[in-house]
Structure 1
Amino acid sequence: MSEMMTGGCQCGRVRYEAEIDSDDAYFCHCRMCQKATGGFAAAFVQVEPGKLNWLGEPDWYESSPIAKRPFCSSCGTPLGFQFKDGGGKPDLTLGSFDDPSRFKPVIHAGAESIHEAFLDTRDLPRMYSATTESVAKRWKAVGREVPE
């Protein structure tokens, strides 16, 4: 089912709306995506060409001879991936959506660089920000509740 969804960077300077036709998301484990996001993988949602509208224009980084990546130069949020030749489907970072809960991963791309230890973490203890004293007390000190 097609749905108009919104998202953007952490500081709010760069915003987008995208018509999303699928619940599919994917992980890219290639070293460029690891470096671009600082994580073990990038989580992306592909958008059909012509169905992405930037409401606040992102900055762009040419991350390789074939690709460029939108980001916010004010807060540093990585926002996606696009081939420089304009072909293919643009990708948006899963975490940049205002509500990413719809999406489910369907494939691992860039599998040559997978860090296997990070794939199945369900048995690790879970800490919640609101009950982590070092985090919660700092939010309280600035007069705010811990954000979700």
Structure 2
Amino acid sequence: MTQHTGGCRCGAIRFEASAEPFYASYCHCGDCRRASGAPVAAFVGFQAADVRFDGDTGSVYGKAPVKRSFCGTCGAPIAYLDERLSDQIFFMLGAMDAPENYPPRMHGYVGEELPFFHLDDGLPRMEANTVARPQGDRS
């Protein structure tokens, strides 16, 4: 069984997933840019039941339904959580120990993409979110 591991910069947060990820994507939305400090964010998603934290699980900020976690010690961003998708967790690709193993498979929120930062990689490009939310919910 493959173990997928990651954590923060200082080691206070460590996590592992015991099953394969179901998702890997870039997000170009302004909220992800601000949360990550980068022109684009990248995430890898796992079923929450397959994830185990060792030590601290991190601090959380945001407003419902979206929350983001980070290390309260070193400040490193860890994950994106959505109450509407409570059975899923989306780790920042940079929080993974081997981020090269999780190549994104699509781009989300390309309407918010910065005009000077375009990845011409042939991946599908979505105008909005890349993970289905409950019917009628577009955020």
Is there any run of 5+ residues in structure 1 with no aligned partner, and where? 122-148
What CA distance in whole angstroms lies between the structure 2 residues aligned with 1:6 and 1:28? 22
TM-score (norm 1): 0.72
Secondary structure at the residue paired with 1:7? strand
Counterpart for residue 35 of structure 2? 36
Secondary structure at the residue paired with 1:106? coil
Greater C-alpha radius of gyration = 1
- Shift in alpha-carbon separation, 1:21–1:116, aligned structure 2, 3 A: farther
Counterpart for residue 123 of structure 2? none
Identity rate, percent? 29
| Aligned pairs (5 A) from 1:12-91 | 12-22=11-21, 24-85=23-84, 87=86, 89-91=88-90
TM-score (norm 2): 0.76
> Match of 1:75, as an amino acid?
C
What CA distance in whole angstroms lies between the structure 2 residues aligned with 1:85 and 1:24? 16
Matched, 1:106 2:105: yes
What CA distance in whole angstroms lies between the structure 2 residues aligned with 1:101 and 1:91? 16
What CA distance in whole angstroms lies between the structure 1 residues aligned with 2:118 and 2:9? 26
Higher percent of residues as helix = 1
Q: Is the 8 A contact 1:24 1:104 kept in 2?
A: no
1:81 Cα offset (Å): 0.4
1:52 Cα offset (Å): 0.9
> Match of 2:43, as an amino acid?
F
Counterpart for residue 7 of structure 2? 8
What CA distance in whole angstroms lies between the structure 2 residues aligned with 1:88 and 1:49? 5
> Match of 1:35, as an amino acid?
R
**How well do the aligned residues superpose, as a CA RMSD in angstroms?**
2.2
